[in-house]
Amino acid sequence: MRFLIITTVTICIALTSMPTQAKIRLAKSCKQYTSLAKSAFILFNKQELISLGECVAQDILRMQMPLTTLVQACNEIKEADGLLGITALSKAEAIRIGQCLGAINYVDTRFHGTKVNIRNKYGRRSNLTYNCARGQLAVDLIVQHNEDRFNSNGIRNIICEPQ
């Protein structure tokens, strides 16, 4: 009995201390926001508005349409790092921040670790996979590219590199 308890505790500790490489789960669609009235958005807190922006950006990229305000949205993240941070954000700024984060998460979830479709001059496929930048580094890379429109492949070319 004592051996069983010690073994169980050891296995539990080993499993909980292992690092995980799970991908972020993306919402299937923004249907939870379609039934809300306009007055309900007044009561949203900043985190809910950021998640709304994430959902909108992911839906736009999922439909293979270009995001036109991605550089402006990622600039809001750099501005929110100031003295007051997220408390000084307006509702529109919170939605834009969510759009930037949603676009980065969508591209990272879709392309990180996938094989690169490049053939070399001998017709052989490469064994390279995409390694995508995350967090502040991805935001900085997007802000450096001053383009008007970004689709998922364009964002991939900016924040992911074959390795």
DSSP bridge pairs for 113: none
Top pLDDT among 80 and 51 is at 51
Alpha carbon dihedral 138, 125, 22, 78, in 10-degree steps, equals 0
Say how far apart CA 53 and CA 55 lie, in whole Å: 5
Q: Is the pLDDT of residue 23 over 60?
A: no
Cβ burial, residue 61 (10 Å; 0-12/13-18/19+): buried
Q: Which tokens is 1 given? A: 């009995």
Q: Is the pLDDT of residue 142 over 60?
A: yes
Q: Which among 143, 146, 142 is positioned nearest to 157, based on CA atoms?
A: 142
**pTM of the prediction?**
0.74
User: Per-residue confidence at 44, pLDDT binned at 50, 70, 90?
Assistant: confident
Instruction: Tell me how far the alpha carbon of residue 70 is from its chain's centroid.
Output: 13
Say how far apart CA 110 and CA 151 lie, in whole Å: 13
